[in-house]
Structure 1
């Protein structure tokens, strides 16, 4: 059974989330304070963490850093702060995804399933190669010029989407649908732009003149190189 650590100080929201997650078969441990969360994480084993950002005794970023010092479990932020600065900060310190309040339960469940699939990907091994980029699907690992590049769950899904659709312009709506597996509307334009920019920073030699992910204004994005499967 997947064990989830939920850090949320809003009692009513936490109660609803805990009920919904347990209905889906997850084992949930709820805490409402930063220090309590750190202590529980040290004492028990978890498969995923859901972290609120603003808390009475600190913030979820502090907890995320603490977890990342000793574990690579998926981390999702739950927060009402949806501005780009906070999204980028959350991703920078090691979060796999960022979901803004208010959100629909099915949206959260979809995000959870996505990050857990990334962690436990057991599909038959294959690699996608394009230029100096290699995406190892079996291990969910990206390499550029033989150097391993860390990816968040959404960045990994974006790489799969682009490399499975090379030299084809994908509209933002198409990307939204593929990211959320048909549940379009889970992602805002601003959030997708952040993911695209951060992915470019990791794979492009010059983000001002990208060679892999090309923007077609008014149309969408295109993976601009041939992709082979090995």
Structure 2
């Protein structure tokens, strides 16, 4: 169920909208007093707010500003005020939509679902986990959880190649072919194993049971994060 807070001092309108939206699995809790609504937001979770601008004791734009400052929640302004300045100000403050009164409740229902659909997608993108390892090819730096990893030139070449091919098995021959240093200074399997071991000591909590740099027996290495 969609849970909505409405800040509307017109009790009759609030009742009509509450009854209509309930048909679409939308529960509305109305607050006629803006201060009561602001207090409720501190302890209750809502998916969206419908906010009138003409309210007792506090201008709706000030309410809008407080909500945006203190909460991460979409807002639809529902107002009979026809001044374009109010609309522009509300949207500049961060309101998601502005619906001038009078309007058809069906339009409000559609706008609610459209905004929540967009908001949920946006939230999912923002909450996508950041990668543990960041490889900056231009600066030739590798960081783990933002902390710079001190690597020798050979270690950097091997680890950067594995990170670039994250999720794929990289053969030993592949590593030699893509590394100038290994070709000239470490052109044997034993030396590569030593480098891999040194890298693990720098990036793994327990090098003997690696979480990131895995040996695929008979095939090569795979980097996962």
RMSD over equivalenced CA pairs, Å:
1.9
CA distance in 1, matches of 2:90, 2:69: 15
d(CA) in 1 for partners of 2:82, 2:106: 19
How far did 1:62 drift?
1.7
The equivalent residue for 1:19 is 19
Partner of 2:64 in structure 1? Answer: 64
Task: Specify every segment of 5 or more residues in structure 1 that has no aligned partner in the other structure, as ranges.
Answer: 123-137, 141-230
Q: Distance in 2 between matches of 1:40 and 1:77?
A: 18
Whole-Å separation in 2 of the counterparts to 1:59 and 1:21: 26
2:209 is matched with: none
1:57-97 C-alpha deviation (Å, 9 max, x unpaired): 11221221121122221100000112321110110111000
| Matched residue, 2:46 | 46
Aligned-pair distance for 1:32?
Answer: 0.3
2:28 and 2:80 map into 1 onto residues whose CA distance is 22
Separation (CA, whole Å) in 1 of partners of 2:71 and 2:118: 15
Aligned residues: 126
Please state whether the residue corresponding to 1:43 is helix, strand or coil.
coil
SS at match of 2:42: helix
Q: Which runs of 5+ in 2 are unaligned?
A: 127-225
Correspondences of 1:105-120 after superposition (within 5 Å): 105-120=105-120
Is the 1:6–1:28 Cα contact (8 Å) retained in structure 2?
yes
d(CA) in 2 for partners of 1:22, 1:59: 28
Q: Is the 8 A contact 1:52 1:59 kept in 2?
A: no
The answer (yes or no) to whether the contact 1:33–1:56 under 8 Å persists in 2 is yes
Q: CA deviation at 1:2?
A: 1.5
How do residues 201-212 of structure 1 correspond to structure 2 at under 5 angstroms?
Answer: none
Higher relative contact order (CA 8 A, sep 6+): 1
Residues 50, 78 of structure 1: 8 Å contact kept: yes
Runs of 4+ in structure 1 over 6 Å off = none
8 Å Cα contact 1:75/1:96 also seen in 2: yes
In structure 2, how many angstroms separate the alpha carbons of the residues matched to 1:14 and 1:65?
22
Q: Residue 79 of structure 1 contacts residue 100 of structure 1 at CA under 8 Å; is this kept in 2?
A: yes
Aligned to 1:35: 35
Match of 1:184 in 2: none
2:93 matched to 1:93? yes
What does the per-residue CA deviation read over 1:32-63, in whole Å, with 9 as the maximum and x for residues that have no partner?
A: 01111111111211110000000111122122
Taking the aligned partners of 2:125 and 2:19, their CA distance within structure 1 comes to 33
Shift of 1:112: 0.7
Provide TM-score, normalisation by structure 2.
Answer: 0.53
* 1:12 positional shift: 0.6
* Contact 1:37 1:63 survives alignment (8 Å): no
- Return the TM-score normalized by structure 1: 0.52
